[in-house]
Amino acid sequence: MPFSHHARQCPEPTASVRECDFTGSPTEGLGALLGAGKRSATQVESEGARRARERLAQFDAAAAETAEKSPPLENYANNSSPSPRNRRYMLRSALWDVSSLKRCRSCGKHVREASGEVGIRVTEGHAGFAGLVTCGSVWVCPVCSAKIAATRSVEIGCVVARALSEGCSVVMVTLTLRHDRGQALGLLWDSLAGCWKRVTGGKSWVRQVERFGLLGFVRATEVTHGQNGWHPHVHALLISERDLSSSEVDELCTSMWERWASKARGLGLRSPLMQASEWHRVTADGSSGTSIGDYLAKGVLAAGAIGMELTQTQSKVARSVHSTRSMWEVLREAVEVGEAGAVRLWLEWERVSKGRRSIAWSRGLRERFGVGLEKSDEEIAAEELGGRDDTIAFITRAGWASMVRRPVLMPALLDALESGGIGALHTFLSENNIEWRPA
Ligand SMILES: [Zn+2]
């Protein structure tokens, strides 16, 4: 990657520590424990939290078992960490009991079909389930988020590659706000949206579009949490039909930053620091469009977020005081450790992120580069692998109920099928007593 990412670093020292403005306490799951009188508790305990924690333990035990069986070298390499897919399934199964969002409590668990059966599909070496409810939450669900990120990443990668091949300039801009611990996520996110609107609206922007030959932008919002509280920020790719010089890029981005900072001050936030924002040209030789797409979509939504380190909750002790953590890390901590601060953060996250866009395109840019109509997050998440003809077996209603009790079996079944074929699938189903029928 030809660019640094210092936007993940919060440059400000902690200022004031205030109580989170968490108000919407759901009646079940983790939220039930955060009612009046319980706020000072450092550990939370509930039936839902206990079930969620047990599910995480299933995955950890399976990973440890795999590591034990593996030869030493492989053992060293996988370090008993679950694979990315396992981690996503693991965290999603925790949401079934602790999420305040109804759709996330059903995702990948409830069956859509009246028969109660779940299809097992395989195509081109990939295995998947069919007939399940999906939540489509890009912010809260690790499984849907990864799927949405993969699609968005390809689209962004396509646009960047096509733009570069046509001799257009692609500029990556990261804009950050200054924030303090205790500031409400809703306020910061609204401010971020307001600032971006100011940057890309009004006469100044129209003048810049003309002067710099701008064709449009794609904007990704990322939110992390750190020592200085919520850290929402914007990454955007600007595309110009011209070959912009370095000084032109500086002029364009400095002016954007000035509007950004002025709006932030107008909204009552402290003046953003210019060194906490950055911009640079994306070049064809240094980075492919695909890697930029990955960075914008997957980095923001899933890949960086579900990294190796988040399965190691103790490693947070070693983290630098200025570093921020992804919301998946917060979820893991909320569920596994039951730490009240993490629980409150997660529930505030669920409440505030709902309905907000992660990636937005300026009008006409997708059409200009031929990436077609944009599907919604829900549509992407609901897409199933292959078609009906690719279904090789059905898990019965009773079989699926037993898998829901042991969600660690879900990614394990897909792994078995992908690596060992139909024979391995049959062995897996019978060894784990899962009722099924051939398709
Ligand atoms: Zn989901």
For the chain, the residue count is 439
How far apart are the C-alpha atoms of 346 and 399, rounded to whole Å? 32
CA 424 to centroid of ligand 1, rounded, Å: 27
CA 262 to centroid of ligand 1, rounded, Å: 38
Residue 137 lies in a domain: yes
Residue 270 lies in a domain: yes
How far apart are the C-alpha atoms of 7 and 251, rounded to whole Å? 20
CA 140 to centroid of ligand 1, rounded, Å: 8
How far apart are the C-alpha atoms of 132 and 407, rounded to whole Å? 14
Residue 430 lies in a domain: yes
Most confident of 66-70, 166-170, 292-296: 166-170
CA 139 to centroid of ligand 1, rounded, Å: 9
CA 93 to centroid of ligand 1, rounded, Å: 10
CA 403 to centroid of ligand 1, rounded, Å: 17
Split into its structural domains, the chain has a count of 2
Residue 63 lies in a domain: yes
- pLDDT confidence bin for 32, thresholds 50/70/90: low
CA 89 to centroid of ligand 1, rounded, Å: 10
Taking only the tens place, the pLDDT of each residue in 390-433 is 999 999 999 999 999 999 999 999 999 999 999 999 999 999 99
CA 293 to centroid of ligand 1, rounded, Å: 22
What distances in angstroms separate CA 364 from CA 203, 218, 312, 400, one per listed residue?
A: 19, 11, 44, 44
CA 274 to centroid of ligand 1, rounded, Å: 37
Higher pLDDT, 32 or 57: 57
Taking only the tens place, the pLDDT of each residue in 156-173 is 888 888 998 899 999 989
Regarding whether 265 and 216 lie in a shared domain, the answer is yes
CA 138 to centroid of ligand 1, rounded, Å: 8
Regarding whether 188 and 111 lie in a shared domain, the answer is no
Higher pLDDT, 297 or 175: 175
Residue 335 lies in a domain: no
Q: CATH number of the domain that 211 lies in?
A: 3.30.70.1120
Regarding whether 213 and 133 lie in a shared domain, the answer is no
Taking only the tens place, the pLDDT of each residue in 332-381 is 888 888 888 888 999 999 999 999 998 999 999 999 999 989 999 999 99
- The pTM score is 0.82
Residue 284 lies in a domain: yes
Whether the per-residue pLDDT at 16 is higher than 50: the answer is: no
Mean pLDDT of 95-112: 95
CA 146 to centroid of ligand 1, rounded, Å: 9
CA 145 to centroid of ligand 1, rounded, Å: 7
CA 319 to centroid of ligand 1, rounded, Å: 29
Distance of CA 303 to the CA centre of its chain: 7
CA 382 to centroid of ligand 1, rounded, Å: 9
CA 141 to centroid of ligand 1, rounded, Å: 5
CA 350 to centroid of ligand 1, rounded, Å: 13
CA 254 to centroid of ligand 1, rounded, Å: 39
Q: What backbone torsions phi and psi does residue 222 show, to the nearest 5 degrees? A: -125, 140
CB 271 within 8 A of CB 265: yes
Regarding whether 165 and 292 lie in a shared domain, the answer is yes
Q: What is the pLDDT of residue 38?
A: 43
Mean pLDDT of 102-124: 96
Regarding whether 158 and 103 lie in a shared domain, the answer is no
Regarding whether 386 and 309 lie in a shared domain, the answer is no
CA 384 to centroid of ligand 1, rounded, Å: 13
Whether the per-residue pLDDT at 1 is higher than 70: the answer is: no
Residue 221 lies in a domain: yes
Regarding whether 135 and 205 lie in a shared domain, the answer is no
Regarding whether 230 and 244 lie in a shared domain, the answer is yes
- Helix/strand/coil for 226: strand
CA 150 to centroid of ligand 1, rounded, Å: 14
CA 410 to centroid of ligand 1, rounded, Å: 14
CA 391 to centroid of ligand 1, rounded, Å: 21
CA 381 to centroid of ligand 1, rounded, Å: 7
CA 368 to centroid of ligand 1, rounded, Å: 31
Regarding whether 252 and 180 lie in a shared domain, the answer is yes
CA 143 to centroid of ligand 1, rounded, Å: 5
Computed over every residue of the chain, the mean pLDDT equals: 82
How far apart are the C-alpha atoms of 151 and 177, rounded to whole Å? 28
CA 269 to centroid of ligand 1, rounded, Å: 34
Residue 19 lies in a domain: no
Regarding whether 137 and 91 lie in a shared domain, the answer is yes
- Helix/strand/coil for 247: helix
Regarding whether 104 and 121 lie in a shared domain, the answer is yes
CA 137 to centroid of ligand 1, rounded, Å: 6
Percent of the chain having pLDDT more than 70? 78
CA 329 to centroid of ligand 1, rounded, Å: 17
Regarding whether 395 and 285 lie in a shared domain, the answer is no
CA 298 to centroid of ligand 1, rounded, Å: 16
Residue 126, domain extent: 30-141+382-438
Q: What is the pLDDT of residue 215?
A: 97
